[in-house]
Structure 1
Amino acid sequence: MKTLFDEETRKELIARIQNIPEDAQARWGKMNLYQMLMHCTTWEQWVHGTGTTVYKQGFLGKIFGKMALRRMLGDDKPFDKGVPTSTQFKIKETSGDISQKKQDWIQLIESYENYSNPAFIHDFFGKMTREQVGFTAYKHTDHHLRQFNS
């Protein structure tokens, strides 16, 4: 299974981010390109602990989170198209500097080389191992790149 802790995987994802055309349209979902880039950078900041989010697992996550995580990480299958977005990562802003947001996202992807955030708690899955973080971060990134045909 691919992980963002692998240098070649990071390079592959960075190339895919760089190749997203500025006029790319989503193949599914409600986000436009700018919103997706903001969503992904905000999500990465959350994972790295550089955002402003407080870590807390939700009630349903406490019941179903570990089971869902095992199922999601059980194979290389990409995320389904209809995976819900946590409200903290829904972006209302619809326009901005796409080139800058791509660069911001790339820097966050590159920072997995030195990832360390033992305080991270996923809002649904709960406490995750470093390995689980790497797999989940890859699947999340891949999901949104496929969403925009990259």
Structure 2
Amino acid sequence: MIYDFDSLIDKLNYLEEETSPKWGKMNSFKMINHCNNFIEVSMGNQKISLWTRLFGRLFGKVFLKYLKSLDFDINRYPKNSKTLKEFKPFISQESFLNQKNRLTENLKIVKELKSHYTIHNIYGKIETRLFKKIVHFHTSYHFNQFGIL
């Protein structure tokens, strides 16, 4: 299956700094920062703690089975779910526009992955199509949270 990352990038253009979420505590800047962290941690571009890596390798496959049981349906995933500290938004001096541009570039990088397998920083070796599905699901979930999807 092909995941429409171009559509996500297009939807990102509708997000403004003042856009309010339908639920949750994050503002739009924090959400973009969180989505960037999610992709960058997943791809190994940001360091994670040994504890997170071990926890992910031990229990990550269970979480992936849970997502599969939901058919990766963003409407069935619970709102206000906890996240790993590595994915949490952090104080950044970057502008809102720079964060948006960074997310656009990160989504393009994921879209262009061609190898059969990807080394996920938390789950380990997974099929690239599953990695793309996870990123698409996660980003779609938060775009829905902010009413742009």
For this structure pair, what is the TM-score category when the shorter chain's length is used for normalisation? Answer: 0.7 to 0.9
Which residue number corresponds to residue 33 of structure 1? 28
Deviation of 1:119 after TM superposition, in Å, equals 3.1
For residue 90 of structure 1, what is the aligned residue in structure 2? 88
Give the Cα separation in 2 of the matches to 1:57 and 1:132. Answer: 20
State the SS of the aligned residue for 1:83: coil
Question: Structure 1 residues 19-28 or 64-73, which shifts more?
Answer: 64-73
Change in Cα spacing, 1:126 to 1:80, as seen in structure 2 (3 Å) is farther
Do 1:35 and 1:94's aligned partners in 2 also have CA atoms closer than 8 Å? no
How far, CA to CA, are the matches of 1:27 and 1:69 in structure 2?
26
Q: 3-state SS of the aligned residue for 1:20?
A: coil
Aligned position for 1:114: 112
Cα deviation for residue 92 of structure 1 reads: 4.0
CA contact (8 A) 1:43 1:89 kept: yes
Q: CA deviation at 1:127?
A: 4.3
The answer to which structure, 1 or 2, has the higher relative contact order (CA under 8 A, 6+ apart) is 1
Q: Which residue identity is paired with 2:46?
A: G
Q: 1:57 to 1:132 in 2, by over 3 A?
A: farther
How big is each residue's C-alpha offset from its partner over 1:100-119, in whole Å with a ceiling of 9 and x where there is no partner? 11111001101123326743
Per the alignment, residue 70 of structure 1 pairs with 65
How does the TM-score come out when normalised to structure 1?
Answer: 0.79
Task: Provide the TM-score with structure 2 as the length reference.
Answer: 0.79
Match of 2:129 among 105, 115, 131: 131
The answer for unaligned runs of 5 or more in structure 1 is none
Give how far 1:84 is off. Answer: 1.3
| 1:96–1:50 CA distance, 2 compared to 1 (3 A) | closer
Cα distance, 1:68 vs. partner? 2.8
Letter matched to residue 31 of structure 1 = M
| Aligned pairs for 1:5-24 within 5 A | 6=3, 9-24=4-19
Instruction: Note the residue ranges of structure 2 that are not aligned, 5 or more in a row.
Output: none
